[in-house]
Amino acid sequence: MDSLNIDNLEQIIAKLTELGTVFGVKLLAAIVVFVLGRWIAIFLRNLLEKSMKRTDVDPTLISFSTNLAYVAMFAFVIIAAIAQLGIQTTSFIAILGAAGLAIGLALQGSLANFAAGVLMLLFRPFKVDDYIEGGGTAGTVKEIQIFNTILISPDNKTIIVPNAKMTSDKIVNYAQAGTRRVDMTFGIGYDADINAAKDILWDILKNEKRVLQDPEPKVAVIELADSSVNIVCRPWVKAADYWDFYFDMMETVKKRFDEGGITIPFPQRDVHVYGSNQGESFHAA
């Protein structure tokens, strides 16, 4: 009886030893796969980061993309390590796929904003400090994030525009070229001297340091309107000088026209009233 028990015990120990050896090998293989896979994932993440930095990609996109790639690779490493232990990973992959689909459906808007943000960071239709119109609003770009673009309006309001809305419509960038044409129209009376008015405008432009000579400014009669002769004035300035120059120009032209006797007429209309009695009429201008 004692010998039988000893034999059974030896068989159990042998089985446990065999199982332990097999599981130990699998565990060791899983550890090796995990450590080596993690090292490869880190190496590839760093390599991707260096490559993106060499191409002058936006830092926000670099950080997000490299971390996303690392998480995806690390998840693959964990699944591979679990598989070395003899555990079926098909169910894990199915669960992850279903979870990814559910999350994707729940975050459709956010994913659209993310995709639009990536495209903007890659193709750069505008950059920080540019004054733009887009997404139904206008302002100076303060920050381009993965999901939103933050603008500062001229009256210092913070405007947060979803990237998908920003890219779904036209984007007007006023700062990208570095220069802007200032379109101004000045009306003078029909009895005023056109040449004198044009000479005044040319003299103002010639003595204004902010006006660029290339492209050349333009001063010309553009319209014979109902109450005035309209003269267009189109100088070029640096984008940063646009509004200061525009405001100064409006004031300076008014003062110089007054000094030169050039009238800026009010809208007017001639009215003729005829009475019922023969020969009776009234005229007002």
Q: Name the burial class of residue 26, with classes exposed (0-12), middle (13-18) and buried (19+) by CB atoms within 10 angstroms of its CB.
A: middle
Contact status, residue 197 vs residue 231, Cβ threshold 8 Å: yes
Domain edges within the chain: 2-106, 125-173, 179-259
Contact status, residue 81 vs residue 30, Cβ threshold 8 Å: yes
Which of 3.40.228.10, 3.40.50.720, 1.10.1740.10, 1.10.287.1260 is the CATH number of 2-106?
1.10.287.1260
pLDDT greater than 80 at residue 104: no
Predicted pLDDT at 254: 95
Q: Where are the alpha helices (DSSP H) in the chain?
A: 2-54, 59-84, 90-106, 108-123, 163-167, 194-206, 242-259
CA–CA separation, 96 and 71 (whole Å): 13
pLDDT greater than 70 at residue 101: no
- Which residue, chain included where needed, has tokens 């673009």? 149
Contact status, residue 242 vs residue 180, Cβ threshold 8 Å: yes
Residue predicted with more confidence, 27 or 36: 36
pLDDT greater than 90 at residue 244: yes
Mean pLDDT, rounded, for 118-134: 85
Predicted pLDDT at 238: 93
CA 181 to chain centre: 23
Q: CATH for 179-259?
A: 3.30.70.100
Predicted pLDDT at 216: 93
**Residue 31 tokens, joined:** 């550890």
Phi and psi, residue 84, nearest 5°: -65, -20
Q: What is the DSSP letter of 262?
A: -
Q: What is the DSSP letter of 13?
A: H
Give the model confidence (pLDDT) of 140-186 as tens digits.
999 888 788 999 998 899 999 998 888 888 899 988 888 999 999 99
| pTM to 2 decimal places | 0.58
- Overall fold of domain 125-173: SH3 type barrels. (2.30.30)
